[in-house]
Amino acid sequence: MLATVGQLMLMTVLMAPGPDIIGDNAALELRYAGTLAKVGRNGTEQPLKKFTLYSVITKQGDGKRLAYLTDERGGGSWAWPERFGTLDLNAKNAAANGATIRVLADHEGVPHPINIRQPIFEFADKLSEDEELDWTSGQSSYEVAEETKRLKDRECHIVRVSTNNGRKQRLWISKADKTLLVAAEQQVFMGRGEEFLLKLDLESAKPVDVAAFEKLNKPLQTLLDLKSQFNRPDGETKAELNPEQIASAQKVIGSLEKQAEGTPFATLAAVVNRDVKAQTQRTDDVESLAKKFVGQAAPAFEVTTLDKKTINSKDLAGKIVVLHFWDYEGEPLAEPYGQVGYLDFLSNKRKKFGIEVVGVAVNESFSDGTKASGALRSVRKLREFMNLSYPIGTDDSTLLAKFGDPRKLGAKLPLWVVINPDGKIAHYHVGFYVIKPDEGLRPLDEAVMKQIKTK
């Protein structure tokens, strides 16, 4: 049976002499299919998610540059800015600064970033017949177990990897070049020690000529430039963009879609376009909501705190009040819960001026007698973990509705409201503030200080 053109290309790559699998080509294009499954007690695998990994590898000085794009389905996934990036590999194919490719798995409501093996094996020199068949690097031990045929009868080295914490991997490395990752299996533990198995299999490897690479590189570079402007924290799990990030994306989305047409980046470009439009609409709606409330008399309110005390607007009349509506939950303790720590600092710092900060834990379960106690325990857990000193009341969303529930517009909590001594709303902000660690909640503090000076 004659081999297809794609198979011949892959055979050429796998049979290339030496570790330089790019050869005289402009780049090497790799496509992988991956799965993540929960392992049962009897060894059965229950699928949690599927994903694909697309990678373009080019020469860069003495090393290589590995650009990647992931696409995940089911069980959680990264927001689009975290689905692509680059790894700079040195002459031995080790990634600079320990950078890695990751997928995101959602388990019991908690996001878990999972490192996956890069397509280019960083220990090609160890697979030489003149070298030892086992070695250690950092906290990982490697052992060449045997040679076998894996994936369409391609000869591979099987490398077993174990770590100090008991996690294990099996890697199938092309025997022809000792560099290309043909397949991988790795143990993953999430939650209370539940075991999962991540599998990665090479579907295709194709050399890329100059013209094809230039076409691929245009949308890739646009995406990388945009990501650089965003300056998002490493491992960010929030999908929300701030107004500046949305504006930056709007400027390039038209050209990005044109550049990505007919490339593997076309789907991602469409996702970016849809997301930017949706977030722009939400931002416009939230701004309209803020305009509706700022300058108007604050609705009367009354909340019962975790300490069973009552706080109402009548008792706070004549004071500067900060209301913080949020889903205060002890599990998961997902970032940026730390902003409540900055709020506590602001509360203590400005209390001498008569500022009253009131946290409002929003959870529909507070109106359900069968669930209320569990919701209360979760809020108390967060309060104790963060050692919060300001009072926290509970709300089943009834009070939030009076102040304008941003969730009805597709936005998310928190909602921050500053009420001046005259009982009018002076500041209204939906979502987390963009902050610097050494400045804390500066926008909120400035709004509070403005009222202090006016008073």
For 174-213, the pLDDT digits (tens) are: 998 999 999 999 999 998 889 999 999 999 999 999 999 9
Q: Which stretch of 250-254, 291-295, 416-420, 437-441 has the lowest confidence by average pLDDT?
A: 437-441
Same domain, 259 and 353: no
Of 19-28, 43-52, 190-199, 415-424, give the lowest mean pLDDT range. Answer: 19-28
Instruction: Read off the pLDDT of each residue in 242-246 and give the average, rounded to a whole number.
Output: 90
Give the number of other Cβ atoms within 10 Å of residue 5's Cβ. Answer: 8
Judge if 58 and 140 occupy the same domain: yes
- Residue 14 — pLDDT band, cuts 50, 70, 90? very low
At 362-377, the pLDDT tens digits run 999 999 989 999 999 9
Instruction: Report the pLDDT value the prediction gives residue 132, as an integer from 0 to 100.
Output: 62
Both 121 and 27 in a single domain?
yes
For residue 63, the 8-state DSSP code is E
- Give 306-327 pLDDT, tens digit per residue: 999 999 999 999 999 999 999 9
Q: Which residue range forms the structural domain that includes residue 226?
A: 211-292
**Average pLDDT, stretch 273-291?**
94
Cα distance between residue 173 and residue 181, in whole Å: 5
322: how many CB neighbours lie within 10 A of its CB? Answer: 25
Residue 399 within any structural domain of the chain: yes
Same-domain status, 40 and 189: yes
The count of C-alpha atoms lying within 13 angstroms of the C-alpha of 170, restricted to the half-sphere facing its C-beta, is 12
Does residue 297 lie in a domain region?
no
Residues 199 and 228 in one domain: no
Judge if 72 and 188 occupy the same domain: yes
Report how many domains make up the chain. Answer: 3
d(CA 4, CA 13): 14
Amino acid at 405: D
239 assigned to some structural domain? yes
Rounded to the nearest 10°, the torsion over CA 61, 141, 183, 197 is -130
Q: By three-state DSSP, how is residue 6 classified?
A: helix
Per cent of the chain over pLDDT 90 is 74
255-279: average pLDDT? 97
Domain stops at, among 230, 262, 292: 292
- Both 16 and 162 in one domain: the answer is yes
Cα distances from 429 to residues 283, 323, 390, 410, 415, in angstroms, run 11, 11, 19, 15, 6
Find residue 50's DSSP bridge partners: 35, 73
Q: Is the distance from CB of 173 to CB of 180 less than 8 angstroms?
A: yes
Q: Among residues 107, 114, 67, 75, which one has the least CA distance to residue 268?
A: 67
Closest C-alpha to 73, from 100, 101, 105: 105
Q: Is residue 383 part of a domain?
A: yes
| pLDDT score of 149 more than 80 | no
With cut-offs at 50, 70 and 90, classify the pLDDT of residue 161: very high
Shared domain check, 217 and 203: no
Residue 175 covered by a domain: yes
Q: Are 356 and 452 in contact (CB under 8 A)?
A: no
Residue with tokens 């009354």: 302
- pLDDT computed for residue 369 by the predictor: 87
Claim to verify: residue 339 and residue 223 sit in the same structural domain: no
**Which pLDDT belongs to residue 152?**
66
Residue 161 lies in a domain: yes
Average pLDDT over the chain, rounded to an integer: 90
Task: Name which of 405, 415, 419, 425 is nearest 296 in CA terms.
Answer: 425
* CA separation, residue 13 to residues 5, 18, 240, 262, 378 (Å): 13, 11, 41, 24, 55
Query: CA-CA distance, 105 to 35, in Å (whole number)?
Result: 11
CATH number of the domain enclosing 179: 2.50.20
Sole residue written with tokens 């701004």 = 287
Residue 230 has pLDDT above 60, yes or no: yes
Query: For the residues 424-433, what does the mean pLDDT come to?
Result: 95
Are both 246 and 388 inside the same structural domain?
no
Domain match, 97 and 65 both: yes
Between CA 230 and CA 293 the distance in angstroms is 30
Amino acid at 372: A
Least confident of 7-16, 336-345, 433-442: 7-16
Same domain, 267 and 219: yes
Tell whether 71 is covered by a domain: yes
- Whether residue 2 is predicted with pLDDT greater than 60 in this model: the reply is no
Boundary (domain end) residue, out of 261, 292, 323: 292
Q: Does residue 425 register a pLDDT over 90?
A: yes
pLDDT, average across residues 289-317: 96
Rounded to whole angstroms, the Cα distance separating 14 from 138 reads 29
Beta bridge partners of 292: none
Last residue of a domain, one of 184, 208, 232: 208
Question: Average pLDDT of 147-156?
Answer: 75
Q: How do residues 98-134 score in pLDDT, each as one tens digit?
A: 899 999 999 887 889 999 999 999 999 888 765 568 9
Using the predicted structure, report yes or no on whether residue 12 has a pLDDT greater than 80: no
